[in-house]
Structure 1
Amino acid sequence: MTSADKIYTLQNLQPVLQKWREENQQIVFTNGCFDLLHLGHVDYLEKARALGDKMVVGLNTDASVRRLKGEERPLQDELARARIMASLLFVDAVVLFDEETPYELIKAIQPDILVKGDDYQIANIVGADIVLEKGGEVKTVSLVKGYSTTNIVEKVKKQLNNK
């Protein structure tokens, strides 16, 4: 299986989800822009995956990232970001979403476990109501301090301006 084989549309992900459910696999879901993969992302995703058996990552489309982060973002296009995410051994599926939040995607996937970083309160996690209503779990995992794409971008800009 190549990394490209782990990138799905919502439609072609459904039979995979069904198979995992039939095998009693716990499906973990998280989401993000993942514009520049860094240590914070890897640590977060690894911890999230350890909470279940299969990991689905909802990835913001380029248009969605621009709406959330501004016109200079994303730095990498959605295909590149999807392939990079899918190449991680602890990511089982990547699916793009175009909305500002993954609410509709979570509703369609119905994960057993919804995960975000500990910079979120469970009450404020988009889709928590869906997962909790069906008896699933919503969890936060600790983040590696000091790592964010925004911080990396600012550091690079500062270094370029000092030349």
Structure 2
Amino acid sequence: MIITNKELLINLIEELRKNNLKIVFTNGCFDILHKGHVKYLSEAKKFGDVLIVGINSDSSIKKIKGNKRPIIPLESRIEVLDAVNSVDFVIPFEEETPLELISVIKPDIHVKGGDYTIESLPESKLILEYGGEIKIITLVNGFSTTNVVNSILEMNK
């Protein structure tokens, strides 16, 4: 399910909390969805009952990755991500970091890939302050959007 506004998100979180469901949150660009993403999301879901995924807007990806990204526009990325079995809710966000979303959701577990450390996450302080946990998942070796893009560029030289 795609969550499109803050009011809907707040209502959703209230309902999940009422039902004592453990909320897992992760976020990313999910530009070209591949095996690494799907395995990562499946592993993240195992930490709780509900997996909420924050997805960077096109403008926030440009700020993070440069003007040549994203390759796939937001609406398409949302639709594909929403179709992944382990994903329960998808929420787009405009900022470069998911701090604002996390402050509303206050997930029980925040999951990031092994290319991060707890110390390198801008959201760590907030999560630890309200009593949430941070889990770092090992990435699938050789699968990253950057690798996929570079492979495509190499094939077309």
Determine if the TM-score, normalized by the shorter chain, exceeds 0.5. yes
Is the contact between residue 8 and residue 93 of structure 1 (CA under 8 Å) also seen in structure 2? Answer: no
TM-score by length of 2: 0.95
TM superposition score normalised by structure 1: 0.92
> Runs of 4 or more off by more than 4 Å in structure 1?
none
Name the Cα RMSD after superposition.
Answer: 1.1
Query: What letter is aligned with 2:88?
Result: D
Gaps of 5+ in 2: none
**Most deviating of 104-113 and 121-130:** 121-130
Q: Is the partner of 2:91 in helix, strand or coil?
A: strand
Match of 1:19 in 2: 15
Task: Please tell me whether residue 124 in structure 1 is matched to residue 130 in structure 2.
Answer: no
* CA shift for structure 1 position 138: 0.7
Secondary structure of 1:105's partner? helix
The letter of the residue matching 1:31 is N
Write the letter of the residue equivalent to 1:78. L
Structure 1 counterpart SS, 2:70: coil
Counting aligned pairs with the same residue, the percent is 43
Partner SS state of residue 149, structure 2: helix
1:1-163 matches, within 5 Å, as 5-161=1-157
Instruction: Give how far 1:88 is off.
Output: 1.0
Give the match's secondary structure for 1:129.
helix
| More moved, 9-18 vs 46-55 | 9-18
User: For 1:6, what is the secondary structure of its paired residue?
Assistant: coil
Number of aligned residue pairs: give it.
Answer: 157
Task: Letter of the 2:120 partner, please give it.
Answer: N
1:126 CA drift (Å): 2.6
